[in-house]
Amino acid sequence: MRAWLSSIVWRIVAVFRGDRHDRDLNEDIQTHLQLLADEFVTRGMSQEEAQRQARLRFGSIDAAVEYHRDARSMRWIERTANELRWAWRGVRSRGWQAVLVVLLLGVSLGANAILFSAADAFVFQRFPYEEPDRLVVLEHESSFGPSYSFTAPAILEWRRHPELFSAVHAREVAGLLYITIGDTTEGIGAAMLTPGFAEMLGGVPKWGRPLSESDAAAGAMPVVVIAEDLATRMYGDPAVAVGKSLSTRNLPVAVVGVMPASFRYPSGRERVWHPLRLDPAVRNRGYETVAKLARGVTLEQAASRVAELAEPIDRAHGSLAKRRPVTLRTLGDSRANGRYTDIFRVLWAAALCLLAIACANVASLELAPALRRGRLMGVKAALGAGRAALVRGQFFESGILLALGAASSVLFTFAGLRALTAAIPATMAGELTNPIDFDRRGVLFLLAAVAATWILTAAPAAWRASRTRLLDALNDEARAGSVSRPTRFLRQILVVGQVAATVLLLATSILYTRTYAARMGLDKGLDSRGVASVRVIPAHDAPLEGAPLAEAVRETLAAHPQVKSVALTQNIFPATGGSIGGRLSINGGEPVAEITAHGHGVTPGYFNTLGIRLIEGSFLTSTSAPSDVVLDERFAQRFWPGTSPIGSRFKVGSAGYGRVNEFRVVGVAGHVRPDRLQAEGGRDLFVFYYPMIQGRTTATAVIKVDADDALTSVAAALRARAPRCIVSVVPIAELYARLEGDRRVAAAATTGMGLLALIVATLGIYAVMAFIVSGRKREIGVRLALGASTGDVRRSIFRESLTFVVAGSVIGVAAALAVARYIESQLFGVSPTDAGTYVVVVAVSMVMYVAATWHPARQAARVDPAITLKSQ
C-alpha cells in the first residue's frame, strides 16, 4: 500500500520534472559506460575496444531509457481523465433524467444516513466512549433495587488498586443552572464530577481546560466546565465562554473549559459540570461510581476482587458499601434501554429497503442509455476500446451521477436530522448518550452505502456493455427494444423487486400508523380539547416562589381572557412519578394487598377543567377536609368490587401526604389514563385525588382555553408576571402524544419512506414500459396493419405490466407478513395479519400500476402503422 502510494507520488512529481529525469538518466548511463570501459582498459584493452565491449555489456541503451520513461509516465492518468470526460458528456446528454437520478440517489442515501445515525444512537453505539467495554458501574443491592451510591472512603479505597481499575470516578447530580435568554428562563442540568471523569470516557474540552484536582480542593475558587451547545446559546460563540462567570444557587462560578457538544454522560440533559471533591471524612453521602477496568482485567476477575475488597473497606470506613455485596456491571448493561431498539432497527431496515428500490430503479434506468448507446459502444469497440474500457466507462458515468447524488444526500441528511431531532420527544432524546448526529460513523456508513450503490447501479449496465459485440451493435437492426432476452429479463426482475419492496414498506407504514392512531385514540377519560398543563419553576433568585408564586400563577391564569377555567395541581398529570407504596388496609382492617398508589393533589376546579366524569359521591370542594379523597374508578373497582367505597377509610402502609396518612373516600371519578398502568416491579398502580397542600416552590396547574393558539400568550403572560422562572405550557394531548413518541416517529418515518418508494417505483415501471413500447413500435405497427384494434394494443401493454405488478405485490405481501410478525410486539390495536392493511396496499399498488402504464399504453395505441413501417 505504501509502496503503491509512493509510486503514485513519484509519477506525479516525475510529470513536472520529466526533462531533468531524462538528463539525470543520460548522465548516469554515460558514467556507467565510462566506468565499465575503464575496467576493460585496466584489463589491457585498447580505449576503442573497451568502449565497444562496455556497450555490449550494457545492452540496449534505448531499452533502458524507454523503460525509465515508461515507469514515470502518466499515461493511465491521462486515459482516466479522458474517460471521465466521456462519462461527463454521457451524463450531460441525459438532461432531466440525470437530475432525477441524482435527486433519487440523494434522497435515498440521505434517508439511510439519517436513520443510520438514529439507529446508531439508539441501538448500535449507545456509548460513544473510548473502549466502552472496559467501563463498569459499581452497584449494590438496596431495598429500592440496585443502587449506585458509594461513599468517598470506598471510592478512594478502590482507587488504591490500579491493578484492578485504571480509573475510578464519581458523579453526583447537582442543582439546575438557571439561564435567561431573552425573556425565557430555562433550567440546565448540572452534575458534579471528580476531575478526570470526562477524560476516562475520552472527553476532552474543545476550548479551555478540563477540571483539575486543584479545582476540587477544599477552598478552591469555584469553577465549571460547560457544554459547547450551552456556550453557543449563552454567548453566541463558544470560544469566548472560557473566563466568563455564571451565577449559580450558591456562588458565581468561572467557566474554565467547554466540552464538545457531543460529550454526554449519562445523557444530554447535563450540560454543566462542577468539580466533585471526595472527602474521606464524609461517610454519609453517596456518589454514583464509574470505573475503567485495568487493561487485561475481565469483568469477572474485577467482580471477584471487588467482593474481596469489600471487607477491608467496611472495616475501615463503615461505608454504604458494607450493607450489601458490591457488584459490577458494564455501562451498557446498567443503562439498558431496549425500548427503542426494535423500532430503530426496523426503521433502518426500511431505509435500506428504500435504498434498494432506488438502486434497482437507477440500475434499470442505467440500462436504457446503455442499450440506446449500443451503437456508440460498438463504434468504440471497433476503434479498439477493450471490454474493460467499456465497463470502466459505465462505472465512471454512474460514478459521476452517484457523486452528485451523494453530495446532495449530505444536504438532505443535515435537514432530515434536524427534523428528526425536533420530532423525537425530549424524553426520548434525553435518554440518549450518543447524540443523533452525522458523526464519523455516519459518514463512514454513507461512504459504504455509496460504494455499494455504485456497484449495484452500474453492474447491470456494465455487464451489458461488456457484452457489446461489434457486428450486433453496428447492425441497423440492433436498436432499443429488440434487445437480448437476458437484458429485458434483468429489467423486469428489477421492476418486480421495486414493486415488492414498495408493497413491503407501505404495509409496514400502515401498521405503524394504525398503531399510533390506536394508541392516541385510547380513551383518556378526560376531554383534552383546549386543556393544557402549566408548570412554573422559580430560579434560586426568582422574586416569587412557593405559595405566593402559586397564587400569582393562579391569578394570572384566571385573569387571562382566553382561559376558561384553571386549577392548581400538585404535579403534572399523566406523569405518576411520585408514588407511595405499602400495604393497603381498609376501615382499620387487616392489610388486603401490597399496592403502589399515586396521590394527585388538586384544587377543586380540577375535575371540571379536565372534564373528568363523576361516578358517585362528590368531587373535592373548597370545604373538603385534608383527609378527603376521590378515588380513580379503577382503584374503586379493584378494592371495593360491587360495593360503594364512599365513606370508607383506607391507609397505604404509613405513607401519606402532608400529615395525613388515613384517607376518607368522598367520591369516585371516571378512570383517567396515567402515563403507566404498572409501577416498577410490575405492581398495579392506583390513582386517587386529595386536596392540594400549598408549599412547594414550583407551581403547576391545568387550564382550559378557548383556542389552542392561546397557549403562547398564556406563557408570555406568565413569564411577565413571574420573572426568572421556567415556564412551560403544554397541551395535555401533547403530553399523551409524547408517551407514544417512538411510535409517532416510526409512523412518520415509514410513511415518508413508503410514499417515496411509491413514487420511485411508479417511475420505474413507467420507464420500463415506455422503453418497451418505443422498442416495439414496428411490431405494434405490423399488428395494427394486420387488423388489430388500438384497444387490443393497449390491453396487451397493460397485460405485460400487470405481470410485474402482480408478481411484485405477491412477493411484497409475503415479505410484509414476515416482517409484521417480527414487529408484532410493537403493534397495538392492529393485528400483523390485518386483512384491511394488505387490501389497501394491494389497491395502492394497482393504482400505481395504472398510473405508470397509462401513458406508455396510449403511446402504443397511437402508433401509425403507415409511418412506422415506412421508416423501417
Partner 1 sequence: MTDRLDLLQGTLDLMVLRTLASMGPQHGYGIARRVEQVSGDQVLLNQGTIHASLVRLEQRGLIRAKWGVSENNRRARFYSITRSGQQQLETGTANWGRLTDVMQRVLNQKGEEI
* Site for partner 1, rule CB under 8 A: 2-4, 6-7, 10-11, 24-25, 27-29, 31-32, 34-36, 38-39, 57-61, 63-64, 67-68, 71-72
Alpha-carbon distance 756 to 748, whole Å? 12
| Residue with smaller CB distance to partner 1, 26 or 245 | 26
The Cβ of residue 144 has, within 10 Å, a number of other Cβ atoms equal to 7
Name the phi and psi angles at 492, rounded to 5.
-65, -40
Provide the minimum distance between the beta carbon of 386 and partner 1 in the complex, in angstroms, as a whole number.
25
| Residue with smaller CB distance to partner 1, 39 or 83 | 39
Provide the minimum distance between the beta carbon of 9 and partner 1 in the complex, in angstroms, as a whole number.
8
Provide the minimum distance between the beta carbon of 28 and partner 1 in the complex, in angstroms, as a whole number.
5
Alpha-carbon distance 320 to 154, whole Å? 8
Provide the minimum distance between the beta carbon of 24 and partner 1 in the complex, in angstroms, as a whole number.
7
- Contact 394/459 with Cβ under 8 angstroms? no
Provide the minimum distance between the beta carbon of 49 and partner 1 in the complex, in angstroms, as a whole number.
17
| Residue with smaller CB distance to partner 1, 42 or 643 | 42
Provide the minimum distance between the beta carbon of 78 and partner 1 in the complex, in angstroms, as a whole number.
18
| Residue with smaller CB distance to partner 1, 6 or 484 | 6
The closest of 127, 147, 829 to 510, measured between CA atoms, is: 829
The closest of 250, 249, 264, 265 to 179, measured between CA atoms, is: 249
Name the phi and psi angles at 297, rounded to 5.
-90, 130
| Residue with smaller CB distance to partner 1, 13 or 866 | 13
Give how far Cα 508 sits from Cα of 122, 169, 455, 752, 764, Å: 20, 45, 28, 11, 21
Q: What is the DSSP string of 104-166?
A: HHHHHHHHHHHHHHHHIIIII-S--SSSGGGEEEEEEEETTEEE-EE-HHHHHHHHT-TTTEE
Task: Give the residue carrying C-alpha cell 434506468.
Answer: 365
Provide the minimum distance between the beta carbon of 26 and partner 1 in the complex, in angstroms, as a whole number.
11
The Cβ of residue 528 has, within 10 Å, a number of other Cβ atoms equal to 17
- Contact 72/14 with Cβ under 8 angstroms? yes
Provide the minimum distance between the beta carbon of 41 and partner 1 in the complex, in angstroms, as a whole number.
11
| Residue with smaller CB distance to partner 1, 35 or 415 | 35
- Contact 152/218 with Cβ under 8 angstroms? no
Provide the minimum distance between the beta carbon of 60 and partner 1 in the complex, in angstroms, as a whole number.
6
Contacts of 151 (CB under 8 A, 6+ apart): 282, 283, 284, 285, 286, 287, 317, 319, 320, 321
| Residue with smaller CB distance to partner 1, 26 or 587 | 26
242 secondary structure, DSSP code: T
Provide the minimum distance between the beta carbon of 10 and partner 1 in the complex, in angstroms, as a whole number.
5
Q: Report strand pairing: 149-150 vs 531-538.
A: unpaired
Q: What is the DSSP string of 163-225?
A: TTEEEEEEEEEEEEEEEEETTEEEEEEEEEE-TTHHHHTT---SEE----GGGGSTTPPPEEE
Provide the minimum distance between the beta carbon of 69 and partner 1 in the complex, in angstroms, as a whole number.
9
| Residue with smaller CB distance to partner 1, 58 or 854 | 58
| Residue with smaller CB distance to partner 1, 56 or 281 | 56
Provide the minimum distance between the beta carbon of 16 and partner 1 in the complex, in angstroms, as a whole number.
15
Beta strands in 508-571 (DSSP E): 531-538, 563-569
| Residue with smaller CB distance to partner 1, 74 or 869 | 74
| Residue with smaller CB distance to partner 1, 1 or 471 | 1
| Residue with smaller CB distance to partner 1, 63 or 471 | 63
| Residue with smaller CB distance to partner 1, 43 or 295 | 43
| Residue with smaller CB distance to partner 1, 71 or 785 | 71
| Residue with smaller CB distance to partner 1, 64 or 294 | 64
| Residue with smaller CB distance to partner 1, 50 or 211 | 50
| Residue with smaller CB distance to partner 1, 37 or 401 | 37
Alpha-carbon distance 356 to 379, whole Å? 33
Provide the minimum distance between the beta carbon of 58 and partner 1 in the complex, in angstroms, as a whole number.
5
Beta strands in 655-709 (DSSP E): 662-669, 685-691, 699-705
Burial state string for 464-502 with b = 16 or more CB within 10 A and e = fewer than 16 = bbebbeeeebeeeebbbbebeeebbebbbebbbbbbbbb
The closest of 190, 200, 268 to 223, measured between CA atoms, is: 190
Provide the minimum distance between the beta carbon of 37 and partner 1 in the complex, in angstroms, as a whole number.
10
Provide the minimum distance between the beta carbon of 52 and partner 1 in the complex, in angstroms, as a whole number.
14
| Residue with smaller CB distance to partner 1, 41 or 156 | 41
Q: Which amino acid is at 59?
A: G
The closest of 546, 540, 537 to 247, measured between CA atoms, is: 540
Provide the minimum distance between the beta carbon of 33 and partner 1 in the complex, in angstroms, as a whole number.
8
The closest of 210, 250, 202 to 226, measured between CA atoms, is: 210
Contacts of 203 (CB under 8 A, 6+ apart): 129, 259, 260, 263, 265
Provide the minimum distance between the beta carbon of 81 and partner 1 in the complex, in angstroms, as a whole number.
21
Q: Which amino acid is at 292?
A: K
How many angstroms from the chain centroid is the CA of residue 424?
A: 9
Length of the chain: 872
| Continuous segment of H or E residues that includes residue 592 | strand 591-602
Alpha-carbon distance 153 to 155, whole Å? 6
Alpha-carbon distance 662 to 585, whole Å? 10
Provide the minimum distance between the beta carbon of 38 and partner 1 in the complex, in angstroms, as a whole number.
6
660 secondary structure, DSSP code: B
